[in-house]
Structure formats: structure tokens, C-alpha cells
């Protein structure tokens, strides 16, 4: 059973110190190639953690914690890191998850309502556009908030303010990450039943990795602002020793 234990607990692969530093899509592809097996295992962990349903927000945040470690090329011990983050963020993730779900649900409801009425009344096109922009901003803010939450412990209001600031400063990478998520699920639908194993193998973990990769730069930028200075969380820092 040693091989089974090592599969979940051993240190993930790294990169050569003298390797040229890549950016953008090249870096995304490099990390994906290096960590693909860890992402498959992370996907399985996420699905198992979500079985009670009420644990979904905490599982998402725990998956974000591991994904940020992938982006930052930190050592990861998958099962331990995921479990610790799941327990550490459980109540905060649940509260934020309920708030974000409520806000997005209201936004989607407004979009559908105005879209239905806009067929007969063009005056509703303006509030429809506002609803679309507001809902998109909420989605982008949610992406930044999740990543900021696992990068540094911050008071709730400061966390929300920094997430909104990051969303205003760099919304396009987050929107691109959301588009990647939409494309993954669209491919699953279009190629079903051939794609039946996509959600079980990589849809969730790859989607979260895309979000973490897309918003990481904005998160680092706003965390470096003077009014965001806070001590780092030592228990979840997985730097090589």
C-alpha cells in the first residue's frame, strides 16, 4: 500500500532553477504539463469533498489554495494541503459562498427578466446592459476574492475591497478564466458521451487553475499596496525547506 500512500502524500514535481522564465499562455501550458497528474487527483478530492453539497464552498477554496501553489511553483503535498485548507476556511468560505451565490442569482434573474421584456419594450435594453455588466463584475470579483482569501488572511471588508479593486484594475484575465471554464463545460456537453469522464478527471481542477492563474497577478498587485499590508499565513506556506 506504500504506492497508494505516496500517490497522495509525496511532494509534487518542480522545475529546474536555470530554466528560462515563461509568461502568459506559455507559462500556463508549462504548469499544466508539469502538474497535470496532481490536477487529476485534485479533481477527485474536490468531488469527494463536495458529496455533502454544503461543503461545496469550502472545497472550492481548498482547491484554490492548491491551485495558487501551482501558480507560484511552491511545493505541494496534495492531500494535506487540501485538507488543511478545507478545515481552515470552512466557515469563511461557506459565508462568502452564500453571499456570492445570492448576488449572482439576483443578477442572473435580472438579466433573464430584462431580456424577456426587451423583446416588447426597447426601453428595457438599458437596464439589461446594466444587469449584464453588474453580474459580470460580481463574477470577476468572486474570482479575485477566492484567490485573495487563500493568499493572505484579511478582514472581510478589506478582502472585499481589495477584490473589487483587483476586478477594476485587471478584469480581462478573470473574464478569460471564466471563458475557459465555460468552454470546458460546453465541450463536455457538445462531445457527450465521449466526454463523459471530463468532469471526473479535470474539469473542476483545470477550471480553478485557470482562475488562479488569471487573477494571480492582480491579487499580488493589490496585496502589495500599503493599506493591504498584513502578515502572511505561515501554516499554509509550503516553501521548500
What was the pLDDT predicted at 120? 80
What was the pLDDT predicted at 141? 97
Q: What is the 3-state secondary structure (H, E, C) of 135-190?
A: HHHHHHHHHHHHHHHHHCCCCHHHHHHHHHHHHHHCHHHHHHHHHHHHHHHHHHHH
Tell me which residues of the chain have a pLDDT lower than 70.
1-20, 225-241
What was the pLDDT predicted at 240? 38
Instruction: Give the residue among 68, 92, 104 at the shortest CA–CA distance from 232.
Output: 68
> What does the domain layout of the chain look like in residue ranges?
25-236
* Per-residue pLDDT reduced to its tens digit, 181-237: 999 999 999 999 889 899 999 999 999 999 999 999 999 999 986 544 443 444 444
What was the pLDDT predicted at 24? 81
What was the pLDDT predicted at 123? 83
What was the pLDDT predicted at 187? 94
The three-class DSSP label of residue 106 is helix
Amino acid at each position: 500500500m506504500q504506492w497508494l500512500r505516496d500517490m497522495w502524500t509525496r511532494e509534487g514535481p518542480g522545475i529546474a532553477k536555470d530554466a528560462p522564465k515563461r509568461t502568459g499562455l506559455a507559462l500556463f501550458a508549462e504548469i499544466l504539463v508539469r502538474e497535470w497528474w496532481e490536477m487529476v487527483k485534485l479533481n477527485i478530492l474536490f468531488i469527494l469533498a463536495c458529496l455533502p453539497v454544503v461543503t461545496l464552498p469550502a472545497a472550492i477554496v481548498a482547491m484554490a489554495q492548491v491551485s495558487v501553489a501551482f501558480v507560484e511553483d511552491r511545493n505541494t503535498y496534495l492531500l494535506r494541503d487540501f485538507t488543511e485548507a478545507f478545515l481552515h476556511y470552512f466557515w469563511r468560505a461557506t459565508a462568502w459562498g452564500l453571499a456570492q451565490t445570492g448576488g449572482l442569482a439576483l443578477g442572473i434573474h435580472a438579466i433573464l427578466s430584462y431580456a424577456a421584456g426587451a423583446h416588447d419594450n426597447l426601453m428595457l435594453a438599458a437596464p439589461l446592459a446594466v444587469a449584464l455588466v453588474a453580474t459580470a463584475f460580481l463574477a470577476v470579483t468572486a474570482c479575485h476574492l477566492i484567490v485573495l482569501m487563500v493568499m493572505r488572511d484579511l478582514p472581510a471588508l478589506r478582502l472585499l475591497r481589495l477584490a473589487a479593486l483587483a476586478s477594476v484594475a485587471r478584469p480581462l484575465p478573470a473574464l478569460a478564466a471564466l471563458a475557459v471554464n465555460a468552454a470546458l463545460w460546453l465541450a463536455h456537453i457538445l462531445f457527450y458521451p465521449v466526454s463523459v469522464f471530463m468532469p471526473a478527471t479535470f474539469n473542476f481542477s483545470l477550471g480553478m487553475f485557470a482562475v488562479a492563474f488569471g487573477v494571480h497577478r492582480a491579487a499580488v498587485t493589490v496585496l502589495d499596496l500599503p493599506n493591504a499590508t498584513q502578515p502572511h499565513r505561515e501554516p499554509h506556506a509550503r516553501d521548500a525547506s
